[in-house]
């Protein structure tokens, strides 16, 4: 039977929508918005662009002095249980819509750290809102999900940082509703802003709604969506004027021709790190491993691969204070 042909314009539209859904706008954690940091979120895994071909992790080898920092029981078993949120590029996603293996900055950094430590990762894909509680219960040794370091999270979670990311804004390409950078929320007055439900983005927007009234201007309207793909669809259909999401996610998205979005700049920065249950003995080893990758150049090559060089850190830190 001859397959039905889809008109070219519709094919292009569907391809763009699938890419946008996969890019996902990387929302923040669930639950109490104040507890949420800057996370990859549970973006739908649709058809996305292929992962870059280069593999800066391939040559990474165990470093004995760093591996010696691991707890004895972990060194004995030779594995680490990692819960990973596979949300959206460039953090972690499924290239070309495939189920596995995942690719992204988080994937490469975690694999490189494991190689320095001389252990294997036992990866389990998990939705971002389940990872932090699962760390506390002992289900995972470490979690990744582009988790941001916040004061609220530091009460129950330990972090080892590896990049610096944060909050930003984007509009549909060609939009005249916002023409310059958004570095002050009063620039949103009179606009409709879309973001993910239960995120720090939502919390920031809701907590600062009064800034427009104080400036004598019409308030902005906040639309929240439980799925990242719905935020993208709303933007492309003109039901929202602006999207608030992660800096790296929005930059990556804007660089994809099919996305048709324009990045409006950074609003607020956050450190991002590996997450551990409070008091974990793994944090010194992870910090030393990240620093080893920074020193030998692997770290810079990973960030260059994923277009996130501007998020580089000079050194890893354990539980740094939240950026203000």
**Tell me: the pLDDT tens digits for 49-105?**
678 888 999 999 999 999 999 999 999 999 999 999 887 789 998 887 766 789 999
Taking the alpha carbons of 148, 277, 161, 82 in that order, is the dihedral positive or negative?
A: negative
Of 38-42, 205-209, 231-235, the range with the lowest mean pLDDT is: 38-42
Confidence of residue 324 (pLDDT cuts 50, 70, 90): low
Residue 294, pLDDT above cutoff 80: yes
CB neighbour class for 268 (10 Å; exposed up to 12, middle 13-18, buried from 19): middle
Greater pLDDT, 160 or 38? 160
CATH number for the region 167-268 comes to: 3.40.190.10
Domain ranges, ordered by start, for the chain: 33-165+270-311, 167-268
Interatomic CA distance for residues 175 and 236, integer angstroms: 10
Could you give the C-alpha distances from 156 to 48, 124, 133, 270, in angstroms and in order? 35, 22, 9, 18
Greater pLDDT, 143 or 166? 143
Mean pLDDT of the chain: 84
Greater pLDDT, 30 or 214? 214
What share of the chain has pLDDT > 90, as a percent? 56
Greater pLDDT, 107 or 94? 107
Residue 130, pLDDT above cutoff 60: yes
Question: Which of 321, 250, 269, 322 has its CA nearest to residue 91?
Answer: 250
Which pLDDT value is given to residue 179?
Answer: 81
DSSP class of residue 51 equals P
**Same CATH fold assignment for domains 33-165+270-311 and 167-268:** yes
Could you give the C-alpha distances from 126 to 77, 85, 92, 143, in angstroms and in order? 23, 5, 12, 9
Which pLDDT value is given to residue 171?
Answer: 95
Confidence of residue 323 (pLDDT cuts 50, 70, 90): confident
Interatomic CA distance for residues 40 and 245, integer angstroms: 10
Interatomic CA distance for residues 201 and 194, integer angstroms: 9
What share of the chain has pLDDT > 70, as a percent? 83
Peptide bond preceding 90 in cis form (omega within 30 of 0): yes
Which pLDDT value is given to residue 9?
Answer: 41
Which pLDDT value is given to residue 70?
Answer: 98
- Strand ranges (DSSP E) for 180-236? 192-196, 221-225
Could you give the C-alpha distances from 236 to 173, 217, 231, in angstroms and in order? 9, 26, 9
Which pLDDT value is given to residue 127?
Answer: 80
Residue 1, pLDDT above cutoff 70: no
Class of domain 33-165+270-311: alpha beta
Interatomic CA distance for residues 289 and 295, integer angstroms: 10
Residue 35, pLDDT above cutoff 80: no
pLDDT tens sequence across 227-263:
767 888 899 899 999 999 889 989 988 888 777 899 9
């Amino acid at each position: 039977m001859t397959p039905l042909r889809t008109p070219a314009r519709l094919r292009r539209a569907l391809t763009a929508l699938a890419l946008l859904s996969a890019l996902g706008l990387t929302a923040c954690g669930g639950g109490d918005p104040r507890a949420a940091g800057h996370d990859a979120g549970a973006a739908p895994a649709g058809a996305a662009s292929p992962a870059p071909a280069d593999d800066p992790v391939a040559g990474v080898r165990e470093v004995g002095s760093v591996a010696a920092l691991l707890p004895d029981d972990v060194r004995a078993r030779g594995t680490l249980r990692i819960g990973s949120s596979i949300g959206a590029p460039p953090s972690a996603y499924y290239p070309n819509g495939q189920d596995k293996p995942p690719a992204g900055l988080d994937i490469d950094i975690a694999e490189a750290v494991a190689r320095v430590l001389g252990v294997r990762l036992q990866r389990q894909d998990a939705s971002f809102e389940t990872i932090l509680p699962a760390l506390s219960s002992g289900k995972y040794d470490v979690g990744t999900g582009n988790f941001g370091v916040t004061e609220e999270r530091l009460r129950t979670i330990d972090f080892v940082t590896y990049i610096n990311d944060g909050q930003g804004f984007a509009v549909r390409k060609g939009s005249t509703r916002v023409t310059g950078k958004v570095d002050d929320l009063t620039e949103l007055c009179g606009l409709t802003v879309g973001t993910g439900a239960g995120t720090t983005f939502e919390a920031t927007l809701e907590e600062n709604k009064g800034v427009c009234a104080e400036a004598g201007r019409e308030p902005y309207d906040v639309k929240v969506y439980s799925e990242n793909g719905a935020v993208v669809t709303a933007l492309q259909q003109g039901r929202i004027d602006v999207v608030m999401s992660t800096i790296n996610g929005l930059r990556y998205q804007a660089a994809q021709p099919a996305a048709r979005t324009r990045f409006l700049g950074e609003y607020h920065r956050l450190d991002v790190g590996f997450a551990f249950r409070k008091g974990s003995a793994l944090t010194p080893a992870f910090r030393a491993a990240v620093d080893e990758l920074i020193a030998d150049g692997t770290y810079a090559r990973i960030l260059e691969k994923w277009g996130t060089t501007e998020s580089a850190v000079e050194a890893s830190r354990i539980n740094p204070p939240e950026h203000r």
